[in-house]
Amino acid sequence: MEIFEIVTYFVLLLLVSTAVRVVTTSNVIHAAISLVFTLALTSVLFLLLSTEFVALVLVLVYIGAVIVLFLFGIMITRAPLGKNAELDNDKNKKLGAAIAGSIFFLFSYILVNGFDGEVIITSGSSTELLGEILLSRFVFPFELVSFVLLAALIGGITLARKDEALIDEDQV
């Protein structure tokens, strides 16, 4: 499995370099595009861990939809587009590095301690097993998810759309 390890470390190296680019670039659109690459490489990492479904979710939902919302969020507001020196100032850099570093060490500590050296060996894709469990043991939470999505949909529409009645009230 030496090739496997080489590929994994190569992907990890690329992942860290694109992630660093997300926070060091002074152009907010470039940060979003770098985030796309970071998520794509994370998806490759999940593929290497033989969790195809998580990789698929990352590509479909995060790269496909969440990044689109990010870009819309940047582009419809009056946020300064193009180069912006304020995005990359030294004062926030130290604070951000301290917070990111402490989160990294906390997560590492929890993960290393939580699994306690236990190695999980998977046998190929786990999507089939996931589907089986999702629609048998976890069928009730699965249906609840649709209600959560419905609530998010209605909430989003309520917040984002302009209410004709309210506009009329404002004018009166």
Partner 1 sequence: MISYFQDYVTIGAVLGFGLFLVVLLLGVASVLRPNKPYAEKLQTYECGVDPVGTGWSQTYVRYYIFGLLFVIFDVEAVFIFPWAINLEKLGYFGLIEMFVFIFILLIGLIYAIRKDVLKWES
Q: Name the residues that contact partner 1, by CB under 8 A.
A: 4, 29, 47, 50, 53, 56-57, 60-61, 64-66, 68-69, 72-73, 75-78, 81-82, 122-125, 127-128, 130-132, 134-136, 139, 142-143, 145-147, 149-150, 152-154, 156-157, 160-161
Shortest CA distance to 68 belongs to which of 94, 108, 35? Answer: 35
Helix (H, G, I), strand (E, B) or coil at 20: helix
User: Residue 111 or residue 160: which is nearer to partner 1 going by CB?
Assistant: 160
User: Residue 23 or residue 54: which is nearer to partner 1 going by CB?
Assistant: 54
- Write out the DSSP string of 122-158: P-S--HHHHHHHHTTTTHHHHHHHHHHHHHHHHHHHH
User: Residue 20 or residue 153: which is nearer to partner 1 going by CB?
Assistant: 153
Q: How far is CA 34 from its chain centroid?
A: 12
Measure the CA–CA gap between 72 and 65, rounded to whole angstroms: 11
User: Residue 33 or residue 56: which is nearer to partner 1 going by CB?
Assistant: 56
Q: Least Å distance between CB 44 and partner 1?
A: 9
User: What single-letter DSSP state applies at residue 11?
Assistant: H
Q: Least Å distance between CB 18 and partner 1?
A: 18
